[in-house]
Structure 1
Amino acid sequence: MIRSFVGRLGFLLLLLASAPHEDAAAESPSPIAKDITWVLNDFPPFIQVDGPLPGNGFVDAAVRYIAERMPDYNHRFEVSGIARAVGLMQQGTPVCHPALLPTAERMAYAVASRPVHFTLPHYVIARADRAERLRPFLDRDGRISLDSLLGAADITTSFTEQRAFAPAIQTALAAHKGAPNILFAGVHFNAPFLQMAAGWVDYIIAYPVEPRWYNAKGQALNEQPLVYYPIAGVEDYTLGHVMCTKGPWGEAVVQRVNAIVVDAGARPPWIDTEIALSDEASGRRLDELFTRYNPFRR
């Protein structure tokens, strides 16, 4: 009788030991999802969303190149503003944006690839009839002192929500946060340009290639020529990165992107697409800087 009871007890203990434990099951890693949602905001000539996606911008060319080399992933494309891309990452939704600047704020909820894009830096851009208002803020090298300009209460500018800039610009904006002469114009990158073109603000901060494309799309409200001023403290170029939602999924995607960019060599093909989409002067300057700095060397 005792032997029978002991035998049954041993059998029960064996079953309990071999049964999956709830905590162990919860801790076991789940497989990494093989779907990528690329959030694309209308931003010519970087990203163009007028036709089939990815479009004909130079960032689109990089996305196409990367997607073709990740056939094991299901790639889908969503056209939306930059604020939605950032909001989804903040919520932990697995998405990627193909061309972002990795600010300290963004790195709290996203992971960044190695540099994928090389562009001319942001400039202060204004209508020519407002140039005299900006001239007092130029240094001896012809660069704008942005901190002083933002501090001029009677000179207005506007920005797109969630748009990021080079560190020197971000620092100046943070120092003047809440100033009444600094406006925000929604989530579309062309909104500040339209306000400047209409004369509602005195200047904007943007890449020098942007206005030409907004004009080409019929978005200019007048024929005013524009002036472009480099910004003191901003480097000669800007690097853009693929950024994905922080976590194992995003890290896995970024690792794949990094390997693809490295394999693309010292001059990835989308760089020549960018030069072709630039005006002649900008394209020449971009080619010169790319050759000088060689940012994609292994």
Structure 2
Amino acid sequence: MRKRIIRSVLLLFVLIPLGFTACMQTRQATRQGMVPLQDARYKALSYSGRNLGYMHLHRNDSLPTLFFLHGSPSDMSVYNTYYQDSSLAGWANIIAADRPGYGMSDAGNSEVSVRRQARAMWKILEKEGFPSPLYIIGSSYGGTVAAKMAMQKPGKVDGLVLVSASLAPGMETTYDISYLIRHRIFRRILPYKITVANDEKLSHYESLSEMLPLWPEIKAPVIMFQGTRDRLILPENVKFARERLINSPYVEYHMLENERHFLQLKYKDLILERLRALIGKKATSGGNLADYN
């Protein structure tokens, strides 16, 4: 027990500077992304006592809309390379949100309920007139929220892309340090992104368990990407989801050999290629994907 405490304390002293570095890099990425995103519309709304911030880019009602959800700890700037992709602008609209507790969405004010996070994201899409067709891309914890959104309003989701997504209760790693840094003294010295992510982490099992009976509600096609050496969100999450997506007309999965958790940037081209193929097939087949291959 004593050795575990010592290890946790030592890890904490490593985590603090890493956390500050991560936050600095995020701010820098956001600033760098502002010039290429000069046509973006940054918006805000209030919902259930919270402020929500999001971005709309390339508004064209004849195109499908991609809704991006980031993981933890992060914000919507993590997808800057997608927003800056000029070829993507030719075939899709983009909406990206800061999830509750991050960026422009009440930074530092944690929301540990996946159900309430998903409702907040739907509020953004409601303000935008429920764009259709709609494809939701979620990485890590954002993938959890994306799946929950598809359970809440199955008729409004045309496709899901889940990247390293936490979907199964207990099939992720929670380190001992998570229980240490939840205490007030550490919350005062750690960057808010670390404490918010930790709050989400420690409440994840409960939210995922709440989702268990709702998997048949997902009626949209699903594409999943997962690293075979991911030790944060275990590869077993993909098998779990495949077995429960019984009403999805099409399920595609990519198990990326020897890859770990952070895939959304390295595999951007593959992710967009598979998503565009899905959009094209769904459009030409009238929504019947039984023969998709």
How does the TM-score come out when normalised to structure 1? 0.28
Ranked by relative contact order (alpha carbons within 8 Å, sequence separation 6 or more), the top structure is 1
Whose helix proportion is higher, 1 or 2? 2
Normalising by the residue count of structure 2, what TM-score does the alignment of the two structures yield? 0.29
